[in-house]
Structure 1
């Protein structure tokens, strides 16, 4: 069992610690990020939203972001909220690193977690991230650009020019997407392995846990239970209520409103339908139409009668001269 713990790969160590640390600190950082977005002190480009989320979620990127922004002229966004958010993330990451690493040392290494373990692992990982992540950013960008050019050149060959446009786009996207994704995954595994080596070197200097397995389990359980549960529950509830009230108080101010030139015309609501009034109006309308129809029929009958009398009179006048001839 001891040999198995000692032979654990750095990649596996780094992946387990970083994955748990990620989920431990991310909810707190996301709550602060949403609050800053509502306050309007932080704006970032939509196409870089995924990169922003990855940098925010990782506990080793607090120093890498300024380096990437300065070296590659890559701006995730603007506003004082971005710098403030990453500063607030520092104590959150230190706390998350401490919680996860103490548990990992007891469970996997059977080692006694030293004091200040979270702070030590955080600053070492942050320095490693400040060196490695800009290299990753540069290599992935270079490989992506080269693979896009290669896919264009490949499909410009005479034997492939007959491919339709839709299929051509799909093939190009598949080619350069697979290449860049593969390079990104390989570099991420290397970065995780570096963090794992930092954790394993720290575990090598730690002393063994004095308790047996049952004692380690008991100690592990007690670590997850706060000394003053009422105080912790009150503090968490108060912080949640304060953040909620602050969020809803600033949200209407930053809610976008349409410009004066783009305002839509106000549409008046239709009055409520009243069946009795509608029936009465219909009855009155039918009565009026019936009276008008009767008047028209009467007028037409009189007109036809006058025409008939005129025809009879004309026929008599025509017949009388004929009868007077000898």
Structure 2
């Protein structure tokens, strides 16, 4: 098996096997008020991670040896691989950091100069968003390729160190079922009630430690926090502004009064016109009634005269 593939097969499950335990330790440190990424918290986390990494590395390496390579894992494989890989990482990772940082800085400067030339000579109206995207694509792709190459070099070194133990090991004897049973026992012991009890006990201890480290169970300000009551600053009184505002209010009130008087006058004028129209109508009706009564009286007199004449004849 190739060195890069072998290194990846061992280091990837090793990371995810120990990560949950490291995460629990980090949460305990945060509950205790220690930041796990700096100072004393980081030192404690690194010290606690050593036995976790040795256990996880030994478990995953023996599984790969039995499952993929059919090689009998040597004794103390986890401890041996851990110090060899740690030494290799201490030497290689700083070099990797420096190389990637230098390449990224150089690629970024070249990308900026190229985009500036492109904007001055080829596309003067190049928008800012496209400039940023083009620069990021140019130097980011170069940095990503260099990072992948350096990462493959790191995995190559890990696999090379692991292949030394593979070449020194002996092939596994026995059928496939026995080999499968062996690597299953690496993860799940035969005494499963004991394993369940151990898990429950460790979880209970971690929970008690977490709640014990917490200063209080509800959020509160830190003891060193100083409450500063900032008094609201009163604006100084400006007489000119007060006078101008008062004049505006008075002018607005005068306009409102004028509009109200106009509305009242219009409403009163309409009422007087309606009353005069009603009075004229009533007078016209009375005059018509009087004319009809006057016309009716002469007819009555003439009728009486004719009746008297007929009577005489």
TM-score with structure 1 length normalisation? Answer: 0.64
| Residue of 7, 25, 34 corresponding to 1:14 | 7
Q: How far apart, CA to CA, are the structure 1 residues paired with 2:229 and 2:109? A: 42
| Residue of 187, 191, 195 corresponding to 2:150 | 187
Q: State the partner residue of 2:267.
A: none
Shift of 1:252: 4.6
Q: State the partner residue of 1:37.
A: 30
Contact 1:101–1:118 under 8 Å retained in 2: yes
Tell me whether 1:202 sits opposite 2:165 in the alignment: yes
Aligned residues: 223
Shift of 1:26: 0.7
Paired residues for 1:87-236 under 5 Å:
87-157=47-117, 158-159=120-121, 160-236=123-199
Shift of 1:156: 1.4
Shift of 1:42: 1.7
TM-score with structure 2 length normalisation? Answer: 0.66
Contact 1:155–1:161 under 8 Å retained in 2: no
Shift of 1:105: 0.7
Query: For the aligned residues, what is the CA RMSD?
Result: 2.1
Q: State the partner residue of 1:261.
A: 228
Q: State the partner residue of 2:282.
A: none
Contact 1:10–1:193 under 8 Å retained in 2: yes
| Structure 1: runs of 5 or more not aligned | 1-7, 45-77, 264-326
Shift of 1:37: 2.2
| Structure 2: runs of 5 or more not aligned | 231-313
Shift of 1:197: 1.1
**Cα 1:104/1:166, change in 2 over 3 Å:** same
| Residue of 30, 42, 62 corresponding to 1:82 | 42
